[in-house]
Amino acid sequence: MPGSAPDFRFDAFRLSSRAGAISGTLDARSLPNVAESLVAGDDPVPIAWTIAGRASADDRPALEIDLTGSVPLVCQRCLGPVDWPVAQATEVLLARDEKELVRLDAEVDGEVILADRPLDPATLVQDELVLTLPFAPRHEGECPSARQ
């Protein structure tokens, strides 16, 4: 089914060590933490994602999460819809357990995720998408309603 959330999980450390990549498309409306920020509607909001395994600059196991798409947000000035482009690439470091998560979080500037079990791509995509969306989206320049 196009746009549905993937129903598989993957081993993040294995993907990282073999520099593999997985990709897909999911509907932002299917992501609970994102859906509430979207303009109401039934039309799907496809987000193309790629999760690529690699080593970080200091040779730690990492993933790069790429998101591409456009999401309809509510302009906080005129309350009209504003299409917000998403083009985000984020590197996250992998922690094997809670202890390593705490240690890495203290040591590095970047994002660290716990990968002590197989991960759900939809969860990673949702978390990154939430981080990339503006807290108070607005039309650039004048709002369309103000131009009329």
Q: For binding to Zn ion (CB under 5 A), which residues are involved?
A: 75, 77-78, 80, 139, 143
Residue placing its CB nearer to Zn ion in the complex, 57 or 136:
136
Residue placing its CB nearer to Zn ion in the complex, 41 or 80:
80
**Are the CB atoms for 98 and 114 separated by under 8 Å?**
yes
C-alpha distances in Å from residue 13, one per residue of 36, 44, 93, 109, 111 = 32, 32, 10, 20, 16
User: Please, what is the minimum distance in Å from the beta carbon of residue 85 to Zn ion?
Assistant: 16
Residue placing its CB nearer to Zn ion in the complex, 71 or 94:
71
Task: Using DSSP, state whether 130 is helix, strand or coil.
Answer: helix
Q: Which residues contact 6 (CB under 8 A, 6 or more apart)?
A: 24, 26, 120, 121, 122
Residue placing its CB nearer to Zn ion in the complex, 5 or 39:
39
End-to-end Cα separation, the chain, in angstroms: 41
User: Please, what is the minimum distance in Å from the beta carbon of residue 144 to Zn ion?
Assistant: 7
User: Please, what is the minimum distance in Å from the beta carbon of residue 67 to Zn ion?
Assistant: 24
- Cα–Cα nearest to 10, from 34, 2, 20: 20
- Determine the length of the chain: 148
User: Please, what is the minimum distance in Å from the beta carbon of residue 131 to Zn ion?
Assistant: 23
